[in-house]
A = this chain, B = another copy of it.
Amino acid sequence: MELLKDYIRKYGNVPNDNVLKVDSFLNHQIDTNLMMELAKDFKEHFKDKKITKILTIETSGIAPSVFLGYLLNVPVVFMKKNSSAILDQNFYHTTVHSFTKNIDYDLILSKKYINEDDHVIFIDDFMANGEACLGALRIIKEANAHVSGIGIVIEKSFQNGRKLVEEKGYDIYSQVRIKSLRKETITFVDEK
């Protein structure tokens, strides 16, 4: 998605190799016009899919997801992150490892808000090692819901998330795929 590449080139910050900060338009300050454009792009990409629900993860997945939900006229559910496992039979939960922060956390989702009739698009802001996405897929499977698609805003294609998710049999649509991040230099996949 060219607009998003432009934002990343203009406003993205690469403080260290392999790290991309997009705090100025996605992860701290939110550019609401961009969010609507991301949602329109997701809507177009998934136009042939049956969709009853958008599933995302707090916090930064929420903004693009709610615009997509609005355009598709479906609800959004966000999984909560919890650092201590709560054993409650009213919730699905699965443990996810964050390589970035080197911690484990639980993703929590009330059983009330997903069921076997749901056709779910999972949306997240970043994909790196794919741990959060794989956790979401485990929960969708446990709920016997259908995966209609996986939409990622920014994929760090030099990490192995895509490979791991594709090995499970799922397709991923990423709006931007980043091949490498070096201080001052962002290279996109398929770029000359």
Chain A interface (Cβ < 8 Å from any Cβ of B): 23-25, 28-33, 35-36, 58-59, 62-63, 66-67, 69-70, 73-78, 80, 110, 112-113
List B contacts of A75 (CB < 8 A): 25, 29-32
Given A23-B110, A35-B70, CB of A29 within 8 Å of CB of B76: yes
List B contacts of A58 (CB < 8 A): 58-59
Nearest B residue to A23 by beta-carbon distance?
B110
Nearest B residue to A72 by beta-carbon distance?
B32
List B contacts of A77 (CB < 8 A): 28-30
- From A25, A28, A80, name the one whose CB has the most chain B CB atoms within 10 angstroms: A28
Could you tell me the distance between the alpha carbons of A74 and B129 in the complex, rounded to whole angstroms? 33
- Tallying the copies of this chain within the complex gives 2
List B contacts of A35 (CB < 8 A): 66, 70
In contact, B62 and A32 (Cβ under 8 angstroms): no
Nearest B residue to A63 by beta-carbon distance?
B66
Pull 16 A–B residue pairs with CB atoms less than 8 Å apart, ordered by A: A23-B113, A28-B80, A28-B110, A29-B110, A29-B113, A30-B62, A30-B69, A32-B67, A32-B75, A32-B76, A35-B70, A58-B59, A59-B59, A59-B78, A59-B80, A67-B70
> Nearest Cβ in chain B — how far from A16, in angstroms?
16
In contact, B33 and A78 (Cβ under 8 angstroms): no
Given A63-B66, A66-B66, CB of A28 within 8 Å of CB of B113: yes
List B contacts of A32 (CB < 8 A): 66-67, 69-70, 73-76
Could you tell me the distance between the alpha carbons of A62 and B35 in the complex, rounded to whole angstroms? 12
Nearest B residue to A62 by beta-carbon distance?
B62
In contact, A30 and B63 (Cβ under 8 angstroms): no
List B contacts of A112 (CB < 8 A): 23-24, 29
List B contacts of A66 (CB < 8 A): 30, 32, 35, 62-63, 66-67
List B contacts of A67 (CB < 8 A): 32, 66, 70
